[in-house]
Chain A
Amino acid sequence: MLQTDVLVIGAGAVGCAIARELTKYRLKVLVVDKNEDVGGEASKSNSAIIHTGYDAPPGTLESQLVVAANPMYELLTKQLDVPYQKVGAILPAFTDEQFEKLPALKAKAFQNRVYDVEYLTGEQLLAMEPNLNPEVKAGLYIPRENIIDPFLLVVAYAENAQQNGAHFLLNTQVTGIRVENGRVVGAQTTAGEVQATYIVNAAGLYCDDVAAMVGKNDYTVNPRKGQFYILDKNTTCKVNHIVLPIPTKVTKGKLMCPTIHGNMLVGPTAEELEDKQDYSTTSEGLASIETDVRRLIPNVNLKDSITQYCGLRPNRNPEGLHVDTYDDVKNYVNLSGVRSTGLTASASLGKYVAQRLIEIGMPVNFNPDFDPIRKGIPRFHEMTYEEQDALIRENPLYGKVICRCETITEGEIVEAIHRPIPARSVDAIKRRLRAGMGRCQGGFCGPRVIEILGRELGVSTEEIRKNQTGSHMITGKVRGERVIANV
């Protein structure tokens, strides 16, 4: 039986951030996740923005956490070697009705203690963002809304946690939590029993199911689908800032922004669902993005889209970000209502949850060996020719380009497969390195990545998955040794 001091359920951005924070103490930390990789759900399909919290509901825990988290990313992304770029957001008003909302939006930012929001004139906004709808009257500038590589943030939290002693058990689902004498003592998982002194529920979309295991399901979570377009780096109409619409009573609306890698991101929709497995884009949803974003950026060219995807935001009913502890279920922390601001809030939530654990009795023994530095995989395409040459001389695999669109080398792929948190699926490689994320969407590198994964993992290619169990890429050999996979 596995034994741990703290069991974290869920290896998304928040779960991995909590795990990393807990390794600053002398504790055994175990993270379990039902997916094959860290960051497999909402953390991988969001708008990749580090928010300021300017529009959070004032006075809430969500507001405090997001506002506190934003300034942490400067140092955190350096320590963890995660691409992070300061771009700033603009909130342009095109109609009189929108114009009249600006003072209230600025006042709300002040209530959230985001004091650096500025009014800008239409001319100023057009000078900053020439592709903006020229009917712009005025707007707000929110300088610290920034962009990040969301996949690498999660991987980096996890790898740094692991390197400081945390354990990760992936492909493992929690099926029950054992409560004895009013306190949690362990969990049943698909990989066996885990004995744990403390349990943290960071299961995101499924946090209500986990909470039900300790009888604390006084809320429900339904998915709120967000569909997005990703546009080619060479698209004809680009923006330099995060361009946000003025929110209405119904929705925060659809935005357009650059990604950290120079693509354009357009979306999301906001659709209330019941089915937590509905990962399908729809023609209606995608059409609504086009209609709405054209009001901001009239010449946006969605024909330049290289892919479309959707994410499921965990929508809590009733609303609100909660971190709860209970008198009748001791040693247990329940997170719920972590929604689209969760990626940003992960930095402060890690610390907040650690503090809550200390408040409920977790012993405070600092780990003097904690190392906050995580070195990422060398990014060949970002290097100078001299640096590339030196790297190839060290390891010739860096001389072989596998993904032609994003210039990702075999050296990087092989390293990703053998990292502390290994990439064992085609999507895990894609999220860490961007191989297959470019304009040919893996048409060129896909067959080669399957081959490298099989070789490096020492398994037959029929075992290679796109992501989870059942998502096999290959159904058998054409000739010779014939293995029929379960289709």
Chain B
Amino acid sequence: MAAAVSAKKQGAGQVLVIERDSSLGGILQQCIHPGFGLSYYDEELTGPEYAGRFIRQAQELGVKALLNSMVLEVLPDGTVICTNGEYGITTVRAKSVVLAMGCRERTRGNIQIPGTRPAGIYTAGAAQRLINRQNEMVGRRVVILGSGDIGMIMARRMTLEGAQVVAVVEIMDFLAGLTRNRVQCLDDFGIPLLLSHTVTRVTGNRRVEGVYVARVDENKKPIPETEEFYPCDTLLLSVGLIPENELSRTAHVEMSPITGGPVVNQSMQTSMPCLFACGNVVHVNDLVDNVSWESEVAGREAARYAMGQLPQSGGTVTCEPGDNVRYICPQHIALTEEEGEVDLYFRVRLPDEKVRIRLLCNGKELGKKSAVKVNPGEMEHIKVSMSDLSAGKLEVHVAKGV
């Protein structure tokens, strides 16, 4: 929605949003908790409220929407083929396309939890949809594996609806999600958080009867003698998100093995010039506010591309993760005549405190800032001025120091 609004504001003649659901707003519609918009709107909104603002703006600007339509294929030339009960198989030819398909949740199968395969095992997001949109309660006594944000939010949600959340179990020795969610969703409700623990087995042939939980050693291997049985009827999983790029692959867009999303430049442009991408389909974000800003760039630049206004690139700067940096988005910067600043978003590999973040272009320091705390669960950000850049490589390092 942010990309559509931004494209329209940039002057694009026709902007169409294709959505598989029956309403706009995506996953925000099931995120009924507050905490959205603190940076973008400087106020605290729920997911549907946050989405609502964009929907209204889009409608006012004349963005068109094709709902109940699943895109089956995106071609490298910007042709989009979708299916719709009313219109059948529909082909849309666009001068530029913004991929904004979001992400999906990792499953029990991905993390290979042994045991039986009963009913009562849900990803946190599936449970959230059932509870918040379908009015269906998924269980009464719950163990949550993974301290991702949706997991913690669902711990609070299930507690408020009368379920007992026995524990949130996290294999790492640090929290996967935001600290504010630990405080507001777990601590305030007295829900135990077990760091350095994992679920080793599921029992129950029909409905979940319980799970075994064990402490893990430094190699994340369960220590058998610490295994304990937790009776429960439900296991929720909040064990990571994966950008949903089936369509990007149909368009043969170059993908990053680290983020699982398309490789993009500062215009959020993929390796196929008319295809842009933004949000969780590029890299998994923790705050919707960041997604909106990033999507504004994608929408604006896609509009400029469609109108033939995007300047030719005169060289490339490759963004390379340095010390304790897992990835940087965008992965490269196209050098053009244009001035301005580029926002670099990145995540650290490991938590650290009192660090210095340094930005180097071809060995020359372009900027630095210090941070009290860095955490893989919280995205970091640094700006770079286009005029300071020269073709070659741009590195971000995070290391102890003041």
Binding site for B on A (CB under 8 A): 230, 234, 277, 279-283, 285-286, 305-309, 385-386, 388-389, 392-393, 396-401, 404-405, 407, 409, 426, 439-444, 446-447, 450-451, 461, 465-480, 487
Cβ contact of B68, chosen from A400, A469, A474, cutoff 8 A: A400
* B97-120 contacts to A (CB < 8 Å): 104-105, 107-110, 112, 114-120
Q: Which of B105, B138, B249 is most buried by chain A, counting CB atoms within 10 A of its CB?
A: B138
Please tell me if the beta carbons of A443 and B114 are within 8 angstroms of each other in the complex. Answer: no
- B122-137: contact bitstring with A at CB < 8 Å (1 yes, 0 no)? 1101100111011111
Which residues of the partner chain A approach B107 to less than 8 Å between Cβ atoms? 306-307, 440-441, 443
Please tell me if the beta carbons of B126 and A443 are within 8 angstroms of each other in the complex. Answer: yes
Please tell me if the beta carbons of A468 and B114 are within 8 angstroms of each other in the complex. Answer: no
Please tell me if the beta carbons of B137 and A305 are within 8 angstroms of each other in the complex. Answer: no
Please tell me if the beta carbons of A399 and B85 are within 8 angstroms of each other in the complex. Answer: yes
Q: List 22 A-B contacts (CB under 8 A).
A: A286-B112, A306-B107, A392-B84, A396-B86, A399-B87, A399-B88, A400-B85, A401-B20, A404-B20, A404-B70, A441-B108, A443-B105, A446-B122, A461-B134, A466-B118, A467-B206, A470-B207, A471-B119, A472-B119, A475-B139, A478-B136, A478-B137
Q: Report the Cα distance A129→B25, complex, angstroms.
A: 46
Which residues of the partner chain A approach B200 to less than 8 Å between Cβ atoms? 283
Please tell me if the beta carbons of B112 and A396 are within 8 angstroms of each other in the complex. Answer: no
Q: Which of B84, B112, B161 is most buried by chain A, counting CB atoms within 10 A of its CB?
A: B112
9 tightest A-B CB contacts, nearest first:
A399-B85, A396-B85, A466-B119, A307-B109, A470-B206, A401-B70, A471-B206, A389-B89, A471-B119
Please tell me if the beta carbons of A440 and B88 are within 8 angstroms of each other in the complex. Answer: no
Which residues of the partner chain A approach B118 to less than 8 Å between Cβ atoms? 466, 471
Is B382 close to A, CB under 8 A? Answer: no
Smallest CB gap from B104: residue in A = A440
* B292-315 contacts to A (CB < 8 Å): none
Is B140 close to A, CB under 8 A? Answer: yes
Which residues of the partner chain A approach B92 to less than 8 Å between Cβ atoms? none
Known contacts A280-B116, A466-B118; A305/B136 CB under 8 A: no
Is B83 close to A, CB under 8 A? Answer: yes
* B247-276 contacts to A (CB < 8 Å): 249
Given contacts A400-B70, A447-B129, A466-B119, 8 further A-B contacts (CB under 8 A): A385-B72, A398-B85, A399-B84, A441-B108, A447-B130, A450-B134, A474-B136, A487-B140
Q: Report the Cα distance A132→B129, complex, angstroms.
A: 44
Q: Report the Cα distance A281→B130, complex, angstroms.
A: 28
Which residues of the partner chain B approach A466 to less than 8 Å between Cβ atoms? 118-119, 206
Q: Report the Cα distance A466→B204, complex, angstroms.
A: 13
Smallest CB gap from A279: residue in B = B116
Please tell me if the beta carbons of A472 and B207 are within 8 angstroms of each other in the complex. Answer: yes
CB proximity of B150 to chain A, nearest CB, Å: 11
Please tell me if the beta carbons of A479 and B135 are within 8 angstroms of each other in the complex. Answer: yes
Q: Report the Cα distance A393→B89, complex, angstroms.
A: 9
Which of under 10, 10 to 19, 20 to 34, or 35 or more describes the interface residues of B? 35 or more
Which residues of the partner chain A approach B115 to less than 8 Å between Cβ atoms? 280-281
Known contacts A389-B89, A443-B104, A477-B135; A281/B114 CB under 8 A: yes
Which residues of the partner chain B approach A392 to less than 8 Å between Cβ atoms? 83-85, 88-89
Which residues of the partner chain B approach A472 to less than 8 Å between Cβ atoms? 119, 207
CB proximity of B174 to chain A, nearest CB, Å: 22
Which residues of the partner chain A approach B122 to less than 8 Å between Cβ atoms? 446
Known contacts A440-B104, A477-B137; A305/B206 CB under 8 A: no
Cβ contact of B119, chosen from A306, A444, A473, cutoff 8 A: A473
Please tell me if the beta carbons of B137 and A465 are within 8 angstroms of each other in the complex. Answer: no
CB proximity of A203 to chain B, nearest CB, Å: 18
* B187-210 contacts to A (CB < 8 Å): 200-203, 205-207
Is B233 close to A, CB under 8 A? Answer: yes
Please tell me if the beta carbons of B233 and A487 are within 8 angstroms of each other in the complex. Answer: yes
Smallest CB gap from A484: residue in B = B140
Binding site for A on B (CB under 8 A): 20, 68, 70, 72, 81, 83-89, 104-105, 107-110, 112, 114-120, 122-123, 125-126, 129-131, 133-141, 161, 200-203, 205-207, 233, 246, 249
Which residues of the partner chain A approach B161 to less than 8 Å between Cβ atoms? 478
CB proximity of A295 to chain B, nearest CB, Å: 21
Q: Report the Cα distance A261→B88, complex, angstroms.
A: 25
Q: Report the Cα distance A472→B139, complex, angstroms.
A: 10
Q: Report the Cα distance A302→B195, complex, angstroms.
A: 26
Please tell me if the beta carbons of A451 and B70 are within 8 angstroms of each other in the complex. Answer: no
CB proximity of B140 to chain A, nearest CB, Å: 5
CB proximity of B73 to chain A, nearest CB, Å: 9
Please tell me if the beta carbons of B88 and A450 are within 8 angstroms of each other in the complex. Answer: no
Q: Report the Cα distance A433→B127, complex, angstroms.
A: 23
Q: Report the Cα distance A401→B84, complex, angstroms.
A: 9
Smallest CB gap from A400: residue in B = B85
Which residues of the partner chain B approach A470 to less than 8 Å between Cβ atoms? 206-207
Which residues of the partner chain A approach B139 to less than 8 Å between Cβ atoms? 475, 487
Please tell me if the beta carbons of A277 and B205 are within 8 angstroms of each other in the complex. Answer: yes
Which residues of the partner chain B approach A409 to less than 8 Å between Cβ atoms? 83
Which residues of the partner chain A approach B116 to less than 8 Å between Cβ atoms? 279-280
Please tell me if the beta carbons of B123 and A443 are within 8 angstroms of each other in the complex. Answer: yes
Cβ contact of B117, chosen from A309, A401, A440, cutoff 8 A: A309
CB proximity of B231 to chain A, nearest CB, Å: 11
Which residues of the partner chain B approach A447 to less than 8 Å between Cβ atoms? 126, 129-130, 133-134, 136
Which residues of the partner chain A approach B136 to less than 8 Å between Cβ atoms? 447, 450, 461, 474, 477-478
Which residues of the partner chain A approach B70 to less than 8 Å between Cβ atoms? 400-401, 404, 407
Please tell me if the beta carbons of A475 and B110 are within 8 angstroms of each other in the complex. Answer: no
CB proximity of A85 to chain B, nearest CB, Å: 23
Q: Report the Cα distance A480→B131, complex, angstroms.
A: 12
Cβ contact of A305, chosen from B109, B202, B203, cutoff 8 A: B109
Cβ contact of A308, chosen from B87, B89, B112, cutoff 8 A: B112
Please tell me if the beta carbons of B207 and A471 are within 8 angstroms of each other in the complex. Answer: yes
CB proximity of B308 to chain A, nearest CB, Å: 30
Please tell me if the beta carbons of A280 and B201 are within 8 angstroms of each other in the complex. Answer: yes
Smallest CB gap from B131: residue in A = A478
Q: Report the Cα distance A472→B112, complex, angstroms.
A: 23
Which residues of the partner chain B approach A401 to less than 8 Å between Cβ atoms? 20, 70, 83
Q: Which of A277, A401, A443 is most buried by chain B, counting CB atoms within 10 A of its CB?
A: A443
Please tell me if the beta carbons of B105 and A440 are within 8 angstroms of each other in the complex. Answer: yes
Which residues of the partner chain B approach A439 to less than 8 Å between Cβ atoms? 104
Known contacts A305-B110, A306-B109, A444-B104; A468/B233 CB under 8 A: no
CB proximity of B379 to chain A, nearest CB, Å: 23
Known contacts A399-B88, A441-B109; A283/B114 CB under 8 A: yes
Which residues of the partner chain B approach A446 to less than 8 Å between Cβ atoms? 122, 126
Q: Report the Cα distance A389→B105, complex, angstroms.
A: 31
Q: Which of B89, B116, B233 is most buried by chain A, counting CB atoms within 10 A of its CB?
A: B89
Q: Report the Cα distance A470→B204, complex, angstroms.
A: 10
Which residues of the partner chain B approach A426 to less than 8 Å between Cβ atoms? 119
Please tell me if the beta carbons of A478 and B89 are within 8 angstroms of each other in the complex. Answer: no
Q: Report the Cα distance A479→B107, complex, angstroms.
A: 28
Which residues of the partner chain B approach A451 to less than 8 Å between Cβ atoms? 134
Please tell me if the beta carbons of A474 and B105 are within 8 angstroms of each other in the complex. Answer: no
Q: Report the Cα distance A440→B70, complex, angstroms.
A: 17
CB proximity of B12 to chain A, nearest CB, Å: 27
Q: Report the Cα distance A467→B116, complex, angstroms.
A: 13
Q: Report the Cα distance A261→B187, complex, angstroms.
A: 46
Q: Report the Cα distance A461→B131, complex, angstroms.
A: 13
Which residues of the partner chain B approach A393 to less than 8 Å between Cβ atoms? 88
Q: Report the Cα distance A474→B84, complex, angstroms.
A: 30
